[in-house]
Amino acid sequence: MSYLKPNNSFITNSFMNDIKQKFIDFFIDVANVMYYLKSVMKNIFHSSFEKSEFLKQCYQIGNKSVGLISITGIIIGLVLTIQSRPPLVEFGAVAMLPGMVAISIIREMGPVITALICAGKIGSSMGAELGSMRVTEQIDAMEVSNTNPINFLIVPRVIAATVMIPILTLYADVIGIFGSWLGVNIKDDVSFTLFMHQAFDSVEFIDLLPALIKSFFFGAVIGLVGCYKGFNAGRGTESVGVAANSAVVTASLLLIIVDLIAVQITDLL
């Protein structure tokens, strides 16, 4: 079976070079987003705030994501409960199920799943919308009308994402715990009040706070990456798709990295 061995060094080198290049591209993207953050911050503190654009973006982010987050939240709660139940039954610890699921959802599943959904839904839509505005010269038209496009388009979107993602995360937590109650009731008969009592007996404020803080960072990452990719899209129509796609990929990867850092910091506290 010698023909199955990866003895073609060209293929191996090319594959390794591709991976290396992708890593380099990703870190260049991260560096550019950080640099972009600088000009966004400058505009947040030095220009007049576009309140109506901010409220419009908040509405759009909430409105676009709430349905998907509701469905995903319920399913995550259900699945987590159904999968965790058998081992807990085996160890006679089934009473711990509501608390365990609640902590999992509040500390990790709620913030991460919400952020990943929003990276797909909001990040891509920001990338595509701003990319298409770039391609059709709407951003140039804005600049010629003496409007700073970073102040008008980017700042409200980034702040709206930073504010809305924690709110959506809290909503996902509630819906996920409700899903868990449904999951428990497939096999047992537990009242909603008893379930909630058992669930929140195990949850402490220290479980909620780091999760909320990290969801603010998740929101900022989604807003920044989506806007950066769209605002810096190329001039051809093809760049709109590229901007939307790379906004999702870069934001999702960055979210996981931010989550890893957040977990490490929380662990130290």
Q: Which positions lie near other proteins, rule CB under 8 A?
A: 132-133, 136-138, 140-147
Residue 108 or 143: which CB sits closer to other proteins? 143
At its nearest, how many Å lie between other proteins and the CB of residue 38? 17
Judged by CB, which is closer to other proteins: 132, or 239?
132
> What is the rounded (10 degree) CA torsion for 261, 263, 265, 269?
180
142/167 with CB nearer other proteins: 142
CB of 138 to other proteins, least distance (A): 5
Shortest distance in whole angstroms from residue 140 CB to other proteins: 5
| Rounded Cα gap, residues 211 and 171, in angstroms | 13
d(CA 196, CA 26): 43
Residue 188 — left, alpha, or beta (φ > 0 → left; ψ -120 to 50 → alpha)?
beta
Beta carbons within 10 angstroms of residue 242's beta carbon: 16
The token pair that represents 166 in the structure block: 């924690």
CA angle 148, 150, 152 (to 5 degrees): 70
Looking at the Cβ atoms of 151 and 250, the one nearer to other proteins is 151
Tell me whether residue 80 or residue 139 sits nearer to other proteins (CB atom): 139
Distance in Å, CB of 134 to other proteins, minimum? 11
Rounded to a whole number of angstroms, the minimum distance from the CB of residue 77 to other proteins is: 36
DSSP reduced 3-state for 121: helix
